[in-house]
Amino acid sequence: MNLNDPVISIKGIGEKSAAALNKAGVFNVSDLLHYFPRTYSVVPEAQKISELSLGARAVVKGRIMGGCSLFSSKGKSVLSFDVGDGTGKLKVYYFGMPYMKKSFPPGRTLILLGNVSFKGDVAVMAQPKVLSEDEYESTKGTLIPVYPETAGLKSATVLKAVKEIISISDRLKDYLPETVINKETLVSLSKAFYDIHFPASREELYAARKRLAFDELFLFIARIQMLKSSTEKEENSFKIDYGQADGVVSGFISKLPYELTGAQLKAINDIKKDMTGEGVAKRLVQGDVGSGKTVVAFAAALMAVSAGYQAAIMAPTEVLAMQHYNEILELTEKYGLPFKTGILTGSVGKADKRRCKELLSDGSLNLVIGTHALLEEDVLFNELALVVTDEQHRFGVAQRRTLSKKGGTPHTVVMSATPIPRTLGLILYGDMDVSLIDELPAKRLERKNAVVDIDYRETFYKFLVKHIREEQVQAYIICPMVEASESEELGMAGDLANVTDYTETLREKLPGDIRISMLHGRMKPAEKNEIMKDFSEHKTDVLVSTTVVEVGVNVPNATIMLVENAERFGLSQLHQLRGRVGRGDKQAYCVFMTGTKGDVSKNTQKRLNILKESNDGFKIAEEDLKQRGPGDFFGLRQSGLPYFKIADIYTDAEMVGRVKAVLQDMTDDGQGGLKALETALRESGNLSYSEFHNIYL
C-alpha cells in the first residue's frame, strides 16, 4: 500500500465509509495517517459505586437489579435499569435503543465504562459502553484514540482503517538532519506517526505530538520564508503616484466626522508607502477589536480606485459584507468619493450577480465587496490592484494564485483582530509587513467588566431590562451549547447553558416588550444572516447565541454582553466575544458568569480576573500564553489563528522560536539553503505531508 492510494482500497472501507471519509477531507492513505485523534480514551481500574464522583470516567462491575424499563421522554425512547455492586446503586440510561432491552435481563453481570453524573444522590451513567472481561483486561490503563466524527463517520470506523494502514509509517523517511533530531530531542517521523495513533504511554504520546507539532511549525515557517523570498522579486504592477495618493487620502480623512488615532494614520501611511513603492504590497494590519481597521481598509481602496484601478474587500460573513457595502455607498454619496461599488455574496440573486461580474470585467465597477464568492472562477477583473481580506478568510497561496491569474499580482492587505502575542506575530506573519493599531478611537469608552456566579443572574436580568428600556440599547447572551443533552433532559447533573432552552426561559422571565431571538451554527446561512440583519437593524433587543457572533456584524448599539459558563472558554476567545459590544460611544458592560454557585476555583477566578482588569487584547493573549501548559493540547483551539492540525501557537510558543532558529541554521545561505530543504522534502517521499497542510507549494 502507498501513501497516495485511495481510502476505498483500505480493507474494511466500503463506498459509504469512503464517501464519509472524503467529506472529512480524507481521500488517500496519507490523509488518513494525518487524521489525528481529537483525544484519547482511558479505561480506568474498576471502582465501587459508592466511590463514584461527578464528571469522572469510570468502570463499574455489577449486576442488573430488577427489571429493565422502557419509557418516552420528549419523543425519545429511553431504556433504563439499575446496577448494584453491594456498595451502592447505579442508574443506567440508553437513548433511542429500545431493541437492546432483551440484552439486559435481571441478574446479568456487566462491566460498564462511561461518564458519571448524578440525579439527586443517585449515580448515573448515560450510554455506557459494555465491556467483556477480556476487553476490559486488555484495554485497562491503555490510551485508545478517539477520532473526530462527522455525519456518517464514526471514530470506530476510522480506528479500524488506521490499524490497517499504520504499518506504512515504518516507510517514512526523515528530511530533518540527525543532528537536529538529536539536539531538539525529537523522535523519528515514523515513530511519531505510529505513536500519535497508538501510544503505549502518555510519555510516548507527548513525544509524538512534540515531533509532529515541530514539523508542522517548521514547514509553515519554511513556506513563509520561501513565499517572502519569491514575493520580494515581484514588481509593483499597479504603481500609484505618492503625491496623488497622499492628497486623496488626506482629503478623505479631513471630511470624516471623527479624528483618526495616530495608529490608524500610521497604518494608512504604511499602506500608502507600500502601494507607491517598487514591490508588491503584502501587509498585515493587526488591531484589537473595535480599533477602527475598517476605515483603514476604505482608505487603501480609495488609493487604488483614485489611480484608475480596482479594489476588492473580502468580509468573513454576508451580513458584514452588506454592512461594508452600505457604508461605502453612504460615504461615496456624502463626500463625493470616486467609488463605483458592487457586492458579491452567496445570497445575491443570479441576475444581480451576473450583472456585477460583467461590470467588474469591463471596469465599470472599481470596487467590489463580498465574501469568498469573490474567488469564483468566473469573477474576472479589469485591473485589480488591491485585495483587502479579513483574517477569517486568510488570503493564502491558493487565493493569491487565483487572483493573480485575473491579471497581475494585486497588493494584499490582511486585517486581523486576533490578539496574537507580540512575540509570535512577526514569526507567524513573516511573509508580511505588520502595522499595529494599538489605540482605541477617542470617543470610545472602556468596557466595564464583571466576573460573577449564578447567584447574580436575576440581578443581571433587572439590569438588562432597565438599560434596554431607558437607553434603547441591545444585548448579547452567549451560551456554550446549542441544546440540552439527553442526560440533562432527564434531570441528571449538568450545568452548561444552551441557546435553545435559554431563549425559552428568557422569554418567560423577561417582560413581553423585550424582543428576544436566538442564533447558532446549526442554522442555515440564510437564516443566520436574517437573524443578524434583524439584530443590526434593532428589530431584536436580546440575541441569545453561541460563539458564532465572535466574527460578525458591527452593531454599535449593542452595549451589554453576558457570557454563561465563562470558565468553559479561553481568555482570547472571551476577549474576541466581548469585542461585539462597546463599538459605539455608549458605555458597554460585559459580565462573565461561571456555571457554579458560590466560590469558583482560585485558578478560574484568577484567569477570569485578567479579563475583568484589562481590555487590552494583546496583554490578555500574553497572559493566556503564560497560563496554558504544554500538556494542555486537547483543549479548545484559539479562534481565528492559522489552522494547524496539531500545533498551537500558544502552547507551542517556545517551540516556534526554536523552530525558527533551526530553520535559520539550515538555510544560512539564503535561497541555496531553501532549495536544499526543498530537495530534502522531495527526496524524503513525504511531500504529501506538507501538501496535506497546504503549507508547501
Q: Please report, as a single letter, which amino acid is at residue 13.
A: I
Lowest mean per-residue pLDDT among 186-195, 386-395, 461-470, 624-633: 624-633
pLDDT value at 692 more than 50 = no
Lowest mean per-residue pLDDT among 64-78, 222-236, 459-473, 577-591: 222-236
Q: Looking at per-residue confidence, does 553 or 308 come out higher?
A: 308
Question: 49 and 28 in one domain?
Answer: no
Mean per-residue pLDDT, 50-61 = 88
pLDDT value at 191 more than 90 = yes
pLDDT value at 640 more than 70 = no
Question: 375 and 257 in one domain?
Answer: yes
**High-pLDDT (> 70) share of the chain, %:** 82
Lowest mean per-residue pLDDT among 95-99, 276-280, 404-408, 573-577: 404-408
Mean per-residue pLDDT, 157-175 = 89
Question: 494 and 410 in one domain?
Answer: no
pLDDT the model gives residue 696: 33
Question: 387 and 322 in one domain?
Answer: yes
Question: 407 and 376 in one domain?
Answer: yes
Rounded distance between C-alpha atoms, residue 555 and residue 532, angstroms: 10
pLDDT value at 203 more than 50 = yes
Is residue 530 situated within a structural domain? Answer: yes
Q: Please say which residue of 552, 583, 614 terminates a domain.
A: 614
Rounded distance between C-alpha atoms, residue 691 and residue 697, angstroms: 7
Question: 292 and 398 in one domain?
Answer: yes
For residue 484, the SS3 value is coil
The residue to which cell 441591545 is assigned: 474
Question: 265 and 410 in one domain?
Answer: yes
Q: Looking at per-residue confidence, does 539 or 669 come out higher?
A: 539
Mean per-residue pLDDT, 619-640 = 51
pLDDT value at 689 more than 50 = no
For residue 280, the SS3 value is coil
Question: 95 and 13 in one domain?
Answer: no
CATH number of domain containing 577: 3.40.50.300
Mean per-residue pLDDT, 451-473 = 93
pLDDT the model gives residue 13: 93
C-alpha cell at position 567:
470558565
pLDDT value at 691 more than 50 = no
Sheet with 310-314: list strands edge to edge: 341-344, 367-370, 310-314, 384-390, 411-416, 282-287, 433-437
pLDDT the model gives residue 406: 65
Rounded distance between C-alpha atoms, residue 659 and residue 644, angstroms: 15
Q: Do 189 and 686 meet the contact criterion of CB atoms below 8 Å apart?
A: yes
pLDDT value at 548 more than 50 = yes
Rounded distance between C-alpha atoms, residue 576 and residue 641, angstroms: 12
Rounded distance between C-alpha atoms, residue 303 and residue 489, angstroms: 58
Per-residue pLDDT tens over the stretch 500-510: 889 999 999 99
Mean per-residue pLDDT, 602-610 = 78
Question: 508 and 429 in one domain?
Answer: no
C-alpha cell at position 92:
443506567
Q: Looking at per-residue confidence, does 619 or 477 come out higher?
A: 477
Question: 369 and 262 in one domain?
Answer: yes
Q: What pLDDT band is residue 549 in, cutting at 50, 70 and 90?
A: confident
pLDDT value at 227 more than 80 = no
Is residue 651 situated within a structural domain? Answer: no
Question: 400 and 488 in one domain?
Answer: no
Is residue 172 situated within a structural domain? Answer: no
pLDDT the model gives residue 674: 63
Lowest mean per-residue pLDDT among 441-450, 591-600, 632-641: 632-641
Sort strands 448-452 and 589-593 into parallel, antiparallel or unpaired: parallel
Per-residue pLDDT tens over the stretch 382-439: 999 999 987 644 445 455 556 556 667 888 888 887 666 555 665 556 557 788 887 8
DSSP annotation string for 224-273: HHHHHHHHHT-B-SS---HHHHHHHHHHHHHHSSSPPPHHHHHHHHHHHH
Give me the domain span that covers residue 12: 1-41+149-166
Per-residue pLDDT tens over the stretch 122-155: 999 999 999 999 989 988 888 889 998 887 889 9
Question: 601 and 472 in one domain?
Answer: yes
Mean per-residue pLDDT, 192-216 = 92
Mean per-residue pLDDT, 436-445 = 76
Lowest mean per-residue pLDDT among 112-121, 147-156, 527-536, 604-613: 604-613
C-alpha cell at position 216:
508542522
Q: What pLDDT band is residue 25 in, cutting at 50, 70 and 90?
A: confident
What phi and psi values does residue 242 have, to the nearest 5 degrees? -60, -45
Q: Do 317 and 521 meet the contact criterion of CB atoms below 8 Å apart?
A: no
C-alpha cell at position 57:
470516567
pLDDT the model gives residue 635: 35
Q: What's the total number of domains in the chain?
A: 4
pLDDT the model gives residue 393: 43
Per-residue pLDDT tens over the stretch 77-97: 999 999 999 999 999 999 888
Rounded distance between C-alpha atoms, residue 452 and residue 72, angstroms: 37
Q: Please say which residue of 580, 596, 614 terminates a domain.
A: 614
Per-residue pLDDT tens over the stretch 641-683: 455 778 876 667 778 878 888 888 877 655 566 666 666 666 5
